[in-house]
Amino acid sequence: MTDTGGEGADTPTPSQGFPQASAPGSGEPKPAEDHAPSPATPPRGWQAPDAPATPPPGWEAPGTPAAPPPLPSYGTPQYGPQYGQQPRWNPHGLGKPGVIALRPLNIGDILDGAITAIRRHPLLVLGIGAVMAVISAAITFVVQKYVLGDLESFASTVELGPAATDTELRDAVFGTFGDAALALVSTTLVSTLLLTVTTGLMAAVMGRAALGREVTFAVVWRDVQPRLLPLVGVAFAYALLTTIGLMLCILPGVVAWAFWALAAPALVLERGTFRQAFSRSVKLVGGAFWRVFGVLLLAQIIESFFESIIQLPFTLGSGVFTQILNPAKVTVPSTGDLLLASAGQIIAGTIAIPFVTLVTVIVYFDQRMRREGMDIELARAAGVQPPQAW
């Protein structure tokens, strides 16, 4: 046979090395075609019946101990709330380590804070109140005893009736009312002075009670002693100016009483000067005058109502009701009646004085938390970690 391939037989073709389909009629048997239907493609997740079933994620067989939850990734910030966790919302703002919550307070919170401070530190708070009540009752007794002398002369003048000359009646009336006004002014001045000094002492108490720390008289005295003379000066100036304002016209006295009410806490807690204490009080009250005035007035009303109830049994024998039932007769209480009334004043003042002064101090804290973020400073001082929103 003639070789027709020539040199082209040694040249590789592009299809060499790959399986080629047999040409028709080449003589090679054609593989039998399988006409059986091809198996259907199983859906995703399908397994053969003979293969063991794979449980879905999170499924546990009965009796199998639950696997521990995966540890959080501390290096990856977590955004948003995690499922299964409750929001760490705190109704007390940054917490309540002491007697008040570290957030802006409402009227109920302020009154509750004063009562809570009395309940947690009764010996200290009521002890300070008792000392101030005794001093106030003693001064009131002396003033009333001084006024009673003119009341007796006025009673003798009234008994003269038509026989008394106009000059005698005029002198008796003006002299008696002048002494009564002097006694009222002296009592108001002394009462405001003692309340302001007590407010400074209660500021030292609340400075630690708000943080939940132990408060003793030695600790309070150590905090107040360096500021005692400036505190007395602030108290005297505050009492004198407010009393003069009330005498001249009620409105100036009320305005001065509200704007300078926070001078004593500012002096003790901020350790400023005499002038700085009044300027700080005006700055804190400014813009919130009606709110501060309303809270302080409410505390004064509660104090007066409480004192009236406590003193009522002690004033039954002092001739007050006899004077009301018979206004034409001038009744002069005896020394025993005055002592009995002073006893009622001491008992009532022991609780009422600390209450109204603690309310004033808490108003100071509230104004600073609202304006200067003092709640954050108190939380840091108390070692309280601010709660997160989630």
pLDDT in tens, 83-124: 444 434 455 667 788 899 999 999 999 999 999 999 999 999
Nearest-5° Cα angle at 375, 294 to 80: 120
Which of the two residues, 212 and 31, has the higher pLDDT score?
212
**H-helix or E-strand spanning residue 9:** none
- pLDDT tier, 71 (very low <50, low <70, confident <90, very high otherwise): very low
In this structure, of 71-80, 86-95, 96-105, 171-180, the range with the lowest mean pLDDT score is: 71-80
Backbone angles phi, psi at 352, to 5 degrees: -70, -40
Tokens of 186: 């002296």
What is the number of other CB atoms lying within 10 angstroms of the CB of residue 356? Answer: 23
Q: Which residues of 245-276 are buried (b: 16+ CB within 10 A; e: fewer)?
A: bbeeeeeebeebbbbbbbbbbbbbbeebeeee
pLDDT at 95: 79
For residue 345, the Cα-to-chain-centroid distance in whole angstroms is 30
Give the side-chain half-sphere CA count within 13 A for 333: 23
Backbone angles phi, psi at 102, to 5 degrees: -90, 75
Which of the two residues, 262 and 321, has the higher pLDDT score?
262
pLDDT at 248: 80
pLDDT at 2: 42
pLDDT at 184: 76
- pLDDT tier, 300 (very low <50, low <70, confident <90, very high otherwise): very high
Which of the two residues, 159 and 191, has the higher pLDDT score?
191
**What proportion of the chain, given as a percentage, has pLDDT over 90?**
44
pLDDT at 380: 87
pLDDT at 329: 54
151: Cβ contacts below 8 Å, ≥ 6 apart? 176, 330, 332
- pLDDT tier, 72 (very low <50, low <70, confident <90, very high otherwise): very low
pLDDT at 92: 61
H helix runs in the chain, sequence order: 107-120, 122-160, 166-209, 217-224, 228-248, 250-259, 263-270, 274-285, 289-311, 320-325, 335-372, 374-382
In this structure, of 188-192, 226-230, 306-310, 323-327, the range with the lowest mean pLDDT score is: 323-327
Tokens of 324: 């009301």
Using the 8-state DSSP alphabet, how is residue 159 labeled?
A: H
Query: How much is the mean pLDDT over the chain?
Result: 75
Which of the two residues, 246 and 30, has the higher pLDDT score?
246
pLDDT at 225: 92
The answer to whether residues 338 and 285 touch, using CB atoms and an 8 Å cutoff, is no
Report the distance separating Cα 101 and Cα 295, nearest Å. 17
Tell me what the mean pLDDT of segment 141-152 comes to: 70
pLDDT at 152: 57
Report the distance separating Cα 243 and Cα 169, nearest Å. 29
pLDDT at 252: 86
Report the distance separating Cα 74 and Cα 167, nearest Å. 95
CA distances from 23 to 13, 20, 29, 32 (A): 17, 9, 11, 16
- pLDDT over 80 at 22, yes or no: no
Tokens of 288: 């919130």
Query: Coil, helix or strand for 102?
Result: strand
In this structure, of 217-221, 244-248, 287-291, 373-377, the range with the lowest mean pLDDT score is: 244-248
CA distances from 231 to 205, 234, 309 (A): 15, 5, 32
pLDDT at 17: 39
Tokens of 185: 């002014």
pLDDT at 200: 95
- pLDDT tier, 311 (very low <50, low <70, confident <90, very high otherwise): confident
The model's pTM is 0.70
Report the distance separating Cα 225 and Cα 218, nearest Å. 10
pLDDT at 167: 67
Which of the two residues, 218 and 325, has the higher pLDDT score?
218
Q: 102 forms bridges with which residues in the sheet?
A: 93
140: Cβ contacts below 8 Å, ≥ 6 apart? 187, 190, 342, 345
H helix runs in 20-165, sequence order: 107-120, 122-160
In this structure, of 12-21, 52-61, 220-229, the range with the lowest mean pLDDT score is: 12-21
- pLDDT over 80 at 50, yes or no: no
| Tokens 């004077």 belong to residue | 323
Report the distance separating Cα 336 and Cα 317, nearest Å. 9
- pLDDT over 80 at 11, yes or no: no
Which of the two residues, 58 and 164, has the higher pLDDT score?
164
pLDDT at 146: 74
pLDDT at 110: 96
> Residue 354, class by beta-carbon neighbours within 10 Å (0-12 exposed, 13-18 middle, 19+ buried)?
buried
The answer to whether residues 200 and 268 touch, using CB atoms and an 8 Å cutoff, is yes
Query: Coil, helix or strand for 93?
Result: strand
Backbone angles phi, psi at 58, to 5 degrees: 90, -5
